[in-house]
């Protein structure tokens, strides 16, 4: 696990000084070594290393092949590198035991076709000194990031935006992206908050030469056609259950390769419990880690984690955190976000990563289970919305009444009313619009009200971007269409970005076995009823591991990795909002948001019906801190 950066100059201008600054900004990703290297008159690569496999200095990067022609910088891990070495590199002399050297030689041998054989997560660049070309690639699902800036004179790339901004880049906010961020609370792939910057698409590669010719290609797509109805390749439910158990177990086992201490996150939810259970079969004295909230017992799930840890016999550590400790981390979290991002669970992931890093350097995580096996409430809502039922007709007709009822997340009845209103709203929409709305915290109309009249957005460009992000949703398809879109929108834009940023802020590598491509490909061969039925989501996943897990997990309520933001914003974190979001003088000087709407939001925060105020305010706080740190 590392950070990478580099430049390609189309007019032979050198950018070594900004490259040195860029790699220094990646020191938390790679605290063990930082090196910047000029490869030609036009190309420079840099690498910040977190040593995981072959911790010797000979495995440092940039790594140049002994012939001098090829140089690689690589962020990630290739879990099947030993098998690939045996299969393709017999007779090749290697000078390290690292996956980096295997990847470099595999690229030399197979070119872009090497990507088909890689099992892992990665973003890497290889420079060919003979042809003057640089090859870029990113993993199948976007576990590792790669930001690229390109104009007529140069190309810059980096693992994080904060590193990319060390190069001479004109910083302009893309006001067609800002409303999308304010809806989703994250910037989706491949967009960026700054014009001219993009993220290399997931499952893609690119080639750039020193004349500026740039081409992209796709090497992987999820094997699913939107609108289709897969049949599990003829497997019965019980046969599919057995196969899934084997695939997940093998995926976890692959991810245990490490030359440094390794453990597993264990929240007490199904996904992390399954991953930890599998890991315990292949690791003696597995270390597992949970976070508990001393002052917020409602959000504390450690009782379930303790049950799993006891059953699998892991060496379990519970980090019981007081609110004051969390508040002390808020500034560090906001300052590390080099693009606006406001998933509230990032706070818990940061604190867990910070504590876990004191014990191990690598942790396994259960991310991906909900997206693959229909574990979210919106998946149930979408299944019901596609039914032609009398109940749907009545709920749809009742929208004007539901609008007047006091919906809220902060009571059981209020939350039901809130969900019912969103459901009724969705019934009036096309499947594509409904999916986007249910992925959002705010509608487009609500977002546009927040913006100053000085902000000009191209609604056509915005809608084109949204259409591209929701292209997998079809009217006559199934919930598999939604899962397919989640894998392209929610997973890389939100979930994986959150884990990558918060773990890397603490120099911790996190591995996600459920996103092994063998598991993903199999999941998308399954019919909907294997994944979700009237009893809930993740049906096949739960049944595959029913005998491995404590029975209490099957009766517990589903909880997200949440924190009580409304309570904190009303009290302890209110001075932060008053200073950075509600400050009228600053809002007027900045000219992006409406001072009147900011005042209304503060009133809404303290009203009996705050609605989604806390999530809207978190997105505004994230934007304003980013604006101050990285844009001004």
Contact assessment for residue 231 and residue 241, using Cβ atoms and an 8 Å cutoff: no
Quote the radius of gyration of the chain (alpha carbons, Å). Answer: 24
Contact residues for 211 (Cβ-Cβ < 8 A; gap 6+): 10
Is 52:77 a contact under the CB 8 Å cutoff? yes
Cβ–Cβ < 8 Å for 559, 269: yes
Q: Name which of 115, 84, 116 is nearest 99 in CA terms.
A: 84
Could you say which DSSP state residue 558 is in?
P
* Phi, psi angle pair for 75, to nearest 5°: -115, 120
Shortest CA distance to 347 belongs to which of 319, 367, 364, 327? 327
Task: Write the burial class of residue 198 (CB in 10 Å: 0-12 exposed, 13-18 middle, 19+ buried).
Answer: middle
Residues 1, 53 contacting (CB under 8 angstroms): no
Is 2 tagged catalytic?
A: yes
DSSP per-residue string spanning 167-206:
S-----B-TTTHHHHHHHSS--TT--SBTTEEEPPTTEEE
Would you call the peptide bond into 578 cis, given omega within 30 degrees of 0 as the criterion? no
Using left for φ > 0, alpha for ψ between -120 and 50, and beta otherwise, residue 268 falls in left
- How many beta carbons lie within 10 A of that of residue 622, not counting itself? 24
- Please tell me the distance from the alpha carbon of residue 217 to that of residue 189, in angstroms, as a whole number: 16
Which whole-number Å values give the CA distances from 285 to 250, 503, 563, in the listed order?
19, 23, 31
307 phi-psi bin (left φ>0, alpha ψ -120 to 50, beta other): alpha
Q: What is the spatial distance between Cα 288 and Cα 294, in angstroms, rounded to a whole number? A: 19
**CB neighbourhood size of 95 (10 A):** 11
The residue from 2, 208, 278, 439 that is catalytic is: 2
Q: Are strands 120-128 and 2-9 parallel, antiparallel or unpaired?
A: unpaired
- Report d(CA 506, CA 355) in Å as an integer: 9
Catalytic center residues: 2
């Amino acid at each position: 696990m590392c950070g990478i950066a580099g430049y390609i100059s189309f007019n032979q201008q050198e950018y070594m000084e900004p490259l040195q600054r860029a790699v220094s900004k990646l020191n938390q990703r790679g605290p063990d070594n930082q090196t910047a290297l000029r490869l030609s008159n036009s190309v420079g690569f840099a690498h910040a290393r977190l040593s995981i496999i072959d911790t010797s200095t000979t495995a440092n990067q940039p790594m140049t092949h002994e012939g001098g022609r090829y140089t690689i910088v690589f962020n990630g891990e290739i879990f099947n590198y030993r098998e690939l070495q045996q299969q393709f590199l017999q007779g090749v002399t290697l000078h390290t035991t690292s996956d980096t050297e295997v990847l470099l030689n595999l690229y030399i041998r197979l070119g872009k076709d090497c990507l088909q054989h890689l099992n892992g997560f990665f973003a890497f660049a290889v420079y060919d000194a003979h042809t003057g070309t640089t090859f870029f690639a990113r993993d199948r699902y976007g576990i590792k990031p790669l930001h690229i800036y390109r104009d007529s004179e140069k190309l810059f790339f980096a693992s994080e935006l904060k590193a990319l901004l060390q190069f001479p880049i004109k910083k302009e906010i893309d006001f067609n992206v800002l409303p999308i961020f304010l809806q989703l609370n994250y910037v989706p792939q491949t967009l960026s908050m700054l014009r001219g910057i993009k993220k290399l698409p997931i499952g893609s590669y690119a080639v750039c030469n020193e004349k500026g010719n740039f081409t992209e290609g796709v090497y992987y797509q999820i094997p699913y056609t939107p609108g289709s109805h897969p049949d599990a390749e003829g497997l019965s439910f019980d046969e599919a259950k057995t196969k899934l158990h084997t695939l997940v177990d093998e995926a976890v086992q692959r991810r245990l390769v490490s030359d440094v201490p390794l453990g597993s996150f264990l929240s007490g939810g199904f996904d992390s419990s399954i991953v930890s259970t599998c890991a315990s079969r292949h690791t003696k004295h597995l270390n597992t880690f949970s976070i508990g909230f001393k002052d917020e017992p409602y959000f504390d799930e450690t009782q379930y984690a303790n049950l799993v840890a006891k059953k699998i016999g892991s060496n379990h550590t519970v980090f019981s955190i007081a609110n004051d400790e969390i508040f002390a981390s808020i500034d560090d979290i906001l300052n590390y976000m080099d693009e606006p991002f406001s998933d509230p669970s990032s706070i818990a992931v940061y604190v867990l990563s910070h504590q876990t890093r004191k014990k191990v350097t690598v942790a396994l995580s259960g991310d991906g289970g909900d997206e693959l096996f229909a574990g979210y409430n919106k998946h149930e809502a979408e299944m019901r919305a596609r039914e032609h039922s009398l109940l749907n007709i009545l709920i749809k007709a009742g929208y004007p009444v539901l609008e007047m009822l006091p919906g809220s997340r902060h009571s059981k009845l209020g939350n039901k009313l809130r969900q019912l209103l969103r459901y009724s709203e969705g019934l009036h929409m096309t499947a594509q619009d409904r999916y986007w709305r249910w992925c959002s915290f705010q509608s487009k109309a609500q977002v546009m009200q927040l913006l100053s009249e000085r902000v000009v957005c191209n609604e056509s460009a915005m809608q084109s971007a949204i259409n591209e992000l929701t292209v997998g949703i079809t009217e006559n398809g199934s919930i598999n269409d939604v899962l397919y879109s989640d894998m392209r929108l929610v997973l890389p834009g939100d979930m994986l970005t959150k884990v990558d940023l918060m773990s890397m802020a603490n120099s911790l590598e996190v591995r996600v076995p459920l996103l092994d491509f063998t598991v993903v490909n199999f999941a998308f061969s399954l019919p909907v009823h294997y994944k979700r039925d009237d009893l809930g989501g993740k049906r096949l996943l739960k049944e595959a591991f029913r005998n491995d897990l404590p029975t209490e997990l099957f009766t517990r309520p589903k909880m997200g990795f949440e924190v009580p933001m409304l309570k904190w914003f009303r009290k302890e974190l209110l001075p932060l909002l008053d200073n950075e979001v509600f400050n009228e003088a600053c809002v007027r000087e900045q000219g992006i948001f409406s001072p009147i709407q900011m005042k209304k939001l503060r009133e809404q925060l303290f009203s009996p019906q705050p609605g989604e105020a806390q999530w809207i305010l978190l997105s505004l706080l994230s934007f304003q801190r980013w604006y101050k740190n990285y844009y001004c």
